[in-house]
């Protein structure tokens, strides 16, 4: 598949709602294009976890059925999917009749895998029981309560990322609710909770928080923003192990939750946070 330029995507343009199932609505964006000029550290693991809260179709009697979709897209897929096109595609199921949910699950898997260029893991969750919808904060020690002065940075400041003095070897899980970046097409804000797990020389917490806040005007897709944070922490602080995980707030019934790590973790939380 050869993705069109982003200017041809539906993002930022008035688009009529679909009236029938239409997989051609999915708009791919080549990851290679979005990573142009950026080199990720070797042996990076990761995925983008999408949650869809507006998934619906009709059963064979015409009764509406609702569900929550969860889609895990490998970070090494050829393409990511533009979010508005994803929403339009999911909405194209709204008035279609299906005998059972497995048909939809298979269609979702086939369509998304074809566009991404790698197998996409598809889950469909019932809106009941309630425990499937419980909110859980990201695990870790918050760095947000530090009483610091902040410069009015208009661009990211990786130079804020420094080691503490002294810098003993530690294992830490740090979290912040202050990550904000912006859509590169519409300029709309993207808000996220951020978790950073690492093992290595202790990273200065004040500098880390200043760095996160310096991204406040940065324009980049969710997935690339997490890769930027991962790459700059790795380059500046050289931890032996590192995981960066962001859970972005919902837009248009979708939230995107990318993670990147130096190893394959066993415990990536799929629970939504309070702001999601």
For 83-102, how does the pLDDT look when each residue is reduced to its tens digit (9 = 90+)?
999 999 999 999 999 999 99
- Active-site residue, from 190, 204, 225, 237: 190
Distance CA 171, CA 181 (A): 27
Domains 6-133 and 141-261 in one fold: yes
pTM score, whole prediction: 0.92
Backbone dihedral angles phi then psi of residue 33, each to the nearest 5 degrees: -70, -40
Q: Which two tokens stand for residue 169?
A: 């070897």
Ordered by start, the domain boundaries in the chain are 6-133, 141-261
Q: Are 65 and 125 a contacting pair, CB within 8 Å?
A: no
How do 64-74 and 141-142 pair as beta strands? unpaired
45-58/254-261 β-pairing: antiparallel
Q: Does domain 6-133 have CATH number 3.40.350.10?
A: no
pLDDT for residue 28: 97
Active site residue 190: yes
Closest Cα to residue 239, out of 251, 229, 250? 229
CATH for 141-261 is 3.30.1130.10
* pLDDT score for 2: 39
Structure tokens at 108: 């979702």
Q: Is 237 in the active site?
A: no
Please check whether residue 25 is in contact with residue 18, taking contact to mean a CB–CB distance below 8 angstroms: yes
**pLDDT tens, position by position, 129-185:** 655 567 899 999 999 999 999 988 889 999 999 999 999 999 999 999 999 999 998
């Amino acid at each position: 598949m050869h993705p069109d330029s982003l200017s041809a995507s539906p993002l930022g343009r008035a688009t009529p709602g679909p009236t029938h199932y239409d997989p051609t609505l999915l708009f791919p964006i080549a990851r290679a294009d979005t990573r142009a000029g950026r080199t990720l550290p070797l042996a990076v693991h990761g995925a983008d976890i999408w949650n869809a809260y507006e998934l619906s179709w009709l059963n064979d009697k015409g009764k509406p059925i609702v569900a929550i979709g969860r889609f895990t897209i490998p970070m090494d897929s050829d393409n990511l999917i533009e979010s508005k096109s994803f929403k339009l595609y999911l909405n194209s199921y709204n008035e279609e009749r299906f005998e059972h949910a497995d048909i939809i699950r298979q269609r979702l898997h086939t369509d998304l895998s074809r566009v991404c260029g790698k197998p996409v893991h598809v889950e469909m969750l019932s809106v009941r029981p309630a425990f499937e919808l419980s909110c859980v904060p990201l695990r870790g020690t918050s760095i947000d309560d530090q009483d610091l002065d902040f410069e009015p940075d208009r661009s990211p400041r990786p130079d804020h990322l420094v080691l503490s003095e002294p810098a003993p070897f530690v294992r830490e899980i740090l979290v912040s609710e202050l990550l904000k970046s912006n859509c590169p097409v519409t300029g709309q804000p993207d808000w996220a909770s951020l978790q950073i797990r690492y093992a290595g020389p202790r990273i200065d917490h004040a500098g880390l928080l200043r760095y996160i806040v310096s991204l406040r005007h940065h324009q980049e897709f969710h997935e690339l923003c997490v890769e930027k944070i991962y790459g700059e922490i790795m380059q500046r602080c050289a931890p032996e192990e590192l995981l960066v995980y962001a859970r972005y707030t919902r837009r248009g019934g979708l939230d995107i939750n990318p993670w990147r790590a130096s190893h394959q973790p066993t415990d990536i939380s799929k629970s939504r946070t309070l702001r999601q």
